[in-house]
Amino acid sequence: MSRRVTEPYQKEIVGAKGSIFYRAHSYHTKVPPEGIVPVIEHYTNPGDTVLDPFCGSGMTGVASLLSGRTGVLSDLSPAAVHIASGYNTPNNPERLAAAASSLMAKLAGLERELYGTACSRCDSDARIEYTVWSDTMVCPGCSHEVLFWDSARQPDGTISKNLVCPLCSTSFRKGDAKILPGAPVLVSVACTSCRSREQRPLTTVETAMAHYPHRTDITDWYPTAPLEDWREMWRGQHGKLGIATSADFFTGRNLRALAAVWKIAGESPESLGLRFATTAIVNRASRRYQWNPKRPTNVLSGTLYIASMNYEFNVFSLLRRKLTAVVQLATKVGETSGQSSVTQASATNLKHLQDRSIDYVFTDPPFGANIYYSDASFLWESWLDDFTDTTNEAIVSTSLAAAHGGKSLADYEQLMAASFGEIARVLKRDAWASVMFHSSDDAVWSSLERAIESADLSLESAVAFDKSQPSFKGVKQMTNQEKVSSFDLVLHLHSSAGGVAKRRKSAVGKVAESDVIEAIANHLESANQRQRSTPYIHSLVMRILLERGATFAGYSYGEVEVLLTKNFLLEKSAWSRNPTPDNASSIKIEGTP
C-alpha cells in the first residue's frame, strides 16, 4: 500500500558529476543520479515503481537502483536504450573482468601491429598513445599543398584561419581553400619499460603505419551509414572534407581497431558490458577530438564538427581504461538493491505499460530546440546499426522537412501533450511526476505548460536543479547555450486535478513587473554566489511565473537580463540589490556604458 504524499519536494536539488555512474558513459545532458535519489525517496517507498519515459542514459534507473526502487525506463533512441541498459543491467564484475581480459588478450597482436613502436630512449617496445593529424589545404595562387599545422599555428600559440602560402606568398582563408586528405604531424609515445612519455614528430615507419590500413583492407564489419546532407548537424564542411558516411569519422587505423573490438566484444557472453565500453570510447576514438595548442578540446556534443587538426587516440588504450571503469560500475551496481528495465518506446505511446501501474515519474524531456538527439547520437547508432525513428522525436527543428522529422513548436507541443497524457494514464491516483525543464525561450515554456494542462496534471511547485558546480575551466569551455541552461527547474506535477494548473485558468495571467522585481530582491537577501548568477535568476523568474499562474511572455532569457540590468547591480557575474538611490549615481553598473 503506497504512502500518500501530500506535499511536493521543496528543496533545491544538487548533483555532482564525478561518480562512476556519471562518468562510465557519456550522453547528452546527463542528470547526475545522486541528485535524483532524495526526490525519489520523498515520493515513494522501497520497491515502488519509478518511470522515466525520456530516459536517455538511464540515470533515473540508476537512482532507482541506489534507492531500492524499481526503475521503468524507455526512450525513442536505440543509443539511449543501449546506454541505459549498460548502466542498469547487473553484470557480474568477476565474469566481466575476465571477459575484458580475454578481449584485450585476443587483440594484443593487433595493438602491436597498429600502434606498436620503439622507445627512443631505451629502445624497448613502446606504444603510440595518440597521433595528431592536420588537414592539407591547396593554395589558390599556385596549387601548392600547404599543411595547416605548418601555416596556421602562430608564435603566440593561437591558430589563424588566414594562411600564407610559403611558396607564392598568396594569403587565403582556410574556409576558401580546397582541402586534401591530411597528414600525421606528431605522436605521443609511452614506453612500457622505462616509463618515459614523449611527444615528437613521426619516424618514417610511424608515418607509414599512420596511413595504414586502407578501408579496403578491413574485413570485419564497420558502419557505413550515410551522413545525409538534410541532417540538422550536417555542415558544408562535411561535404568538403568528403565525410559522407559514419566510417569517414575515423582514420583507417582506428576503424580497423574498432571493427575488431566490436566483433570480438559481440561474440562474448559479456557482450552487453563490453559493447557498452566500446560505444563509450567511440567518440574519443573518432576524428571529432580536436587538437588545440593549449589543451585537448573534448568532443563537442552539439555538433558533428571535425576540426582541421585532430587527435587519433590509441583505441586499445582508451578501451583498457574504459573496461576498468565498466568493471567498477558493475561492482557498484551489484551493491544496490533496486532493479530497472529498459524498453525502446516513444513517450507518446507507452503501450507496454498498464493504466495506473506507476508510483512516480521522474523525467527530463527534450527542451524544445536545444539538442538534436538523433543527430548527436549518430556515431553510436551507426555502430549499433539501429537508428532513431525521428517521426515522434520531441524536438523543434524548423529547418528540416517534415519527412526528415522536421517540427514546429506546435508539433513539439503536441508530442509533449501526448507524452503527458501517457504519464497521467499510467500514474496511480494521487501520485506525482517530476519533470526537469529549462529553456531561455518564453514561447517554449508556454508550450510546455499547455501540454501539462492538456493532460490534466496539476503543477504544484518548481525547484531548481543545480547540475553540479562546473570548474573554472568548465565554465570557460562552456558555450553560451550551455551557460544559459546550466540551471534547470524540476516541476512537480500531481496526478489529481485541482492544483496550481487549475488555479491558473482562473488567474489573471499576468504578474506585475514590480512583483517580479521584489521577489528577485527578496531572493538576493540570502542568495549565495551561484544563486546570484543570471542563469539562476532566470530559472527563479520562471518558477515565480509558474507558481503564480502568470504568462511567460516577456520573460525570455534576454528580457530577464535587461530587467536585471535596470534594477540590480552586477559584479563578478553575481547580482546584488542596488544601493540606495542617493549614492547610486557614483557606482558604475557593469555592462552599461
Ligand X SMILES: C[S@@+](CC[C@H](N)C(=O)[O-])C[C@H]1O[C@@H](n2cnc3c(N)ncnc32)[C@H](O)[C@@H]1O
Q: How far apart are CA 187 and CA 118, in angstroms?
A: 12
- Residue 358 phi, psi (nearest 5): -115, 135
Stretch that binds ligand X, among 2-10, 225-233, 345-353, 470-478 (CB under 6 A): 345-353
Q: Is residue 128 a contact point for Zn ion (CB under 5 A)?
A: no
Among ligand X, Zn ion, none, the one that 373 touches (CB under a kind-dependent 5 to 8 A) is: ligand X
Q: Is residue 76 a contact point for ligand X (CB under 6 A)?
A: yes
Q: How many residues bind ligand X (CB under 6 A)?
A: 24
Query: CB neighbours of 448 closer than 8 A, spacing ≥ 6?
Result: 413, 416, 437, 439
Residues of this chain, 163-222, that bind Zn ion according to CB under 5 A: 165, 167-168, 170, 191, 193-194
Count Cβ neighbours within 10 Å for each residue of 133-146 and write b for 16 or more, e otherwise.
Answer: bbbbbbbeeeeeeb
Cell numbers placing 207: 608515418
AA identity, residue 53? P
Among ligand X, Zn ion, none, the one that 301 touches (CB under a kind-dependent 5 to 8 A) is: none
178-191 and 125-138 strand pairing: antiparallel
* Angle in degrees, CA 268, 272, 277, rounded to 5: 100
Taken in order 554, 558, 559, 564, is the CA torsion positive or negative?
positive
Half-sphere exposure (Cβ direction) of 138: Cα atoms closer than 13 Å: 9
| Least distance CB 566 / Zn ion (angstroms) | 55
| Least distance CB 155 / Zn ion (angstroms) | 21
Binding mask 397-426 for ligand X (x = CB under 6 A): ------------------x-----------
Q: Are 94 and 269 in contact (CB under 8 A)?
A: no
AA identity, residue 310? N
Stretch that binds ligand X, among 89-97, 112-120, 294-302, 391-399 (CB under 6 A): 391-399
Cell numbers placing 41: 525517496
105 to 204, 248, 266: CA distances (angstroms) = 28, 28, 15
The residue (of 76 and 265) whose beta carbon lies closer to ligand X is 76
Q: Is residue 460 a contact point for ligand X (CB under 6 A)?
A: no
Q: How far apart are CA 447 and CA 7, in angstroms?
A: 26
The residue (of 30 and 532) whose beta carbon lies closer to ligand X is 30
Q: How many residues bind Zn ion (CB under 5 A)?
A: 15
Q: Is residue 308 a contact point for ligand X (CB under 6 A)?
A: no
Residues of this chain, 5-44, that bind ligand X according to CB under 6 A: 27, 29-31
Q: Is residue 373 a contact point for ligand X (CB under 6 A)?
A: yes
Q: Exposed/middle/buried for 169, CB within 10 Å: 0-12, 13-18, 19+?
A: exposed
Residues of this chain, 469-498, that bind ligand X according to CB under 6 A: none
13-14 and 458-466 strand pairing: parallel
| Least distance CB 485 / ligand X (angstroms) | 11
User: Which residue is closest to ligand X by CB?
Assistant: 56
| Least distance CB 371 / ligand X (angstroms) | 7
The residue (of 312 and 488) whose beta carbon lies closer to ligand X is 488
Q: Is residue 346 a contact point for ligand X (CB under 6 A)?
A: yes
Which residue's C-alpha cell is 553598473?
A: 589
Q: How far apart are CA 441 and CA 217, in angstroms?
A: 50
Among Zn ion, ligand X, none, the one that 366 touches (CB under a kind-dependent 5 to 8 A) is: ligand X
Quick one: how far is CA 260 from the chain centroid? 27
| Least distance CB 53 / ligand X (angstroms) | 6
Among ligand X, Zn ion, none, the one that 167 touches (CB under a kind-dependent 5 to 8 A) is: Zn ion
In total, the chain counts a number of residues equal to: 593
Q: How far apart are CA 215 and CA 218, in angstroms?
A: 6
Quick one: how far is CA 585 from the chain centroid? 44
The DSSP secondary-structure symbol of 516 reads H
Say how many C-beta atoms besides its own lie within 10 A of residue 11's C-beta. Answer: 10
Among Zn ion, ligand X, none, the one that 56 touches (CB under a kind-dependent 5 to 8 A) is: ligand X
Q: Is residue 417 a contact point for Zn ion (CB under 5 A)?
A: no
Q: Is residue 390 a contact point for ligand X (CB under 6 A)?
A: no
Among Zn ion, ligand X, none, the one that 144 touches (CB under a kind-dependent 5 to 8 A) is: Zn ion
The residue (of 140 and 554) whose beta carbon lies closer to Zn ion is 140
The residue (of 200 and 566) whose beta carbon lies closer to Zn ion is 200
| Least distance CB 322 / ligand X (angstroms) | 18
Q: Exposed/middle/buried for 313, CB within 10 Å: 0-12, 13-18, 19+?
A: buried
Q: Is residue 451 a contact point for ligand X (CB under 6 A)?
A: no
Q: Is residue 119 a contact point for Zn ion (CB under 5 A)?
A: yes
The residue (of 248 and 466) whose beta carbon lies closer to ligand X is 466
Among Zn ion, ligand X, none, the one that 30 touches (CB under a kind-dependent 5 to 8 A) is: ligand X
Q: Is residue 364 a contact point for ligand X (CB under 6 A)?
A: yes
Binding mask 52-71 for ligand X (x = CB under 6 A): -xx-xx-x------------
Q: Is residue 444 a contact point for ligand X (CB under 6 A)?
A: no
Query: CB neighbours of 105 closer than 8 A, spacing ≥ 6?
Result: none
Q: How far apart are CA 294 and CA 158, in angstroms?
A: 8
Q: How far apart are CA 593 and CA 591, in angstroms?
A: 7
Q: Are 231 and 375 in contact (CB under 8 A)?
A: yes
197-200 and 178-191 strand pairing: antiparallel
Binding mask 238-277 for ligand X (x = CB under 6 A): ----------------------------------------
Which of 46, 49, 48, 18 lies closest to 34 in space, CA to CA?
18
The residue (of 170 and 290) whose beta carbon lies closer to Zn ion is 170
Residues that bind ligand X (CB under 6 A): 27, 29-31, 53-54, 56-57, 59, 75-77, 80, 346-348, 364-366, 373, 392-394, 415
Residues that bind Zn ion (CB under 5 A): 119, 121-122, 124, 139, 141-142, 144, 165, 167-168, 170, 191, 193-194
